[in-house]
Amino acid sequence: MKRTIPVLIASIAGLVLIIAHFVPPAQSWGDEVNTWFQILAAFAFFLGGGSLLKMHLKRISDQQEGWGFSAVTLLAFGITLIVGIFKLGVLPSETYPTKPWSGEYLGDGGALWWIYQYLFTPLNATMFALLAFFISSAAFRAFRAKNTEAMILLVTATIVLVGRTYAGAFLTEGFNPHWQLAAIIDEWFMSVFNTAGARAIKIGIALGVVSTSLKVLIGTDRSYLGSEE
Amino acid sequence: MTLLKEGQIDRRWIYLAMLCAVGLPILLQLTFPEIPSPKVLDVFDAVDKLPEGSRILMACDFDPASAGELEPMMSAFVRHCGTKNHKLIFLALWPQGAPVIKSNIVILNKEFPEYEYGKDYVNLGYQPGNEVVLKVLVTDFKKQCSTDVDGTSTSTLPLTRDLTKIQQLSLVISVSTGNPGTTEWVQYVASPFGMPMVAGTTAVQAPSLYAYIPRQLISVLGGIKGAAEYEQAIIDHYPTMGENNGAREGLRRMGPQLLGHLLIVMLIVVGNVLYFSQKEKGVGA
């Protein structure tokens, strides 16, 4: 029963969506399922939060290695959650000036806005920017022309890297100043070889999704329910 | 800290070189000329050739991690639409997209003061639910977006009052970096309903979107190069935009990209030269 009911719910919801897609009079059924999905998705936030608390509290109570990071995570989670839910520092909206909580949760000057602007944004951008350093180190250490395939990859990468900057135009403008040879070659690689590969991958993924979805709908694939225990 | 040890450059030198390659063009404000490619011109035409005052949906699905590439693109779209007097409906499928919308509304208010909230633009903010949001938007717009970000009913705002499905809009512009993003907009909105759509994405994501061009997606701006070319196309057609420093942000960021790419190419070459010279000597090959 514990597994049969979830499988039934998944199968019915999936079948309704398929019918709603192909049978226009049944379209409203699909809308109903979509609305249910959004309500359920909201509850998933609670589950996610609960799971995060459970995992990190356990690490702290067991004094596992790196438990300090768990404490920082929970502190950040708690502060962000409280200032967001209570809209601390957010001014009421112009439409409802007498209602204290009517302002947008990320309203200018609010505590959540401050966290986003001065903590989240620089940290997030820094993490991504570090890629430039790791890629440059990897370019030196790992990109070796050890065989023909690697050689083709390296030559293509070099053309695309140069073609995506002014260097490509500068190096090839001798051919014709109004005709960017490097950019054209770069575009040709992207539009012909890359597109052919991308389309093949996308069609393959789509077929895989159809096959997996069918297995879920008829109940043979129950991996999304977790382990049997 | 020796430069070369056992055929390897100390990685700290590489990091220092990358820091200089990215930092110097920013400090020296180096910019280089750009010629818009056909793909970028397709995006430009899709916005530019719409009748003045057309309604456009602007999806902002990215976070600060990708803002380096996508923020200039998003601002360029907003400025181009502002120049053409298009009406804009902003929406985000990513929670982090909501503040980006706000920063672009600041641009709109500052550079196009005639733009009036509710009549010329509306901010729907973050819409939770990923692709399901799109599935509802194409059947019942008001069911998904009954109010704007401030809680004002979309049935009372002039721009959205008569909107029942987003297919009534003239164009979708998706600026995105991942999932949900441009792929979902193509799969659930543009492709099934034949809605015109253009996109701006990170350079990493762009190759996967080329597969949709031109029948499901008019065209795509890829990375900061796409943003810079788009800005150049706008400046070529509306020269007064060239006087606005903010409208040249993508062009400015092509300087660090040029030196960064050249450094990587150089490192690949040096790495291979050292590899083959050591292989010849029979060391560590």
Mean pLDDT, consecutive 10-residue stretches, chain A (229 aa), reads 83 89 85 85 88 94 92 94 90 81 82 91 90 89 86 86 81 66 78 88 92 88 72
CB contacts, 8 Å: A136 with chain B = 14-15, 17-18, 260, 263-264, 267
Q: Which of A220-224, B125-129, B217-221 has the highest mean pLDDT?
A: B217-221
pLDDT of B95 strictly over 60: yes
Indicate the SS3 state at residue B135: helix
**Which residues 46-85 on chain A approach chain B with CB closer than 8 angstroms?**
none
Is the CB of A117 less than 8 angstroms away from the CB of B99?
yes
CA distance B69 to chain A (A): 11
User: For residue B70, what pLDDT band results from cuts at 50, 70 and 90?
Assistant: very high
B207:A190 CB<8 A: yes
Q: Could you read off the pLDDT of A120-170 as tens digits, one per residue?
A: 999 988 998 898 899 888 888 888 888 898 888 888 888 888 888 888 777
Residue A136: which of B35, B254, B264 has the nearest Cβ?
B264
Residue B101 has pLDDT above 70, yes or no: yes
8 Å CB contact between B141 and B108: no
Question: Per DSSP, which regions of chain B are E strands?
Answer: 4-5, 8-9, 55-61, 87-92, 121-126, 171-176, 197-201, 219-222
Instruction: Answer yes or no: do B265 and A34 touch at CB < 8 A.
Output: no
pLDDT for B20: 93
| A32–B contact, CB cutoff 8 A | no
d(CA B104, CA B99): 9
- Domains of chain B (ranges, CATH numbers): 1-30 (no CATH), 38-248 (3.40.50)
* ipTM value: 0.81
The residue of chain A nearest to residue B136, with distances taken between CA atoms, is A31
Judged by a CB distance cut-off of 8 A, whether residue A204 touches chain B is no
Backbone angles phi, psi at B206, to 5 degrees: -55, -45
Closest chain B residue to A203, measured at CA = B211
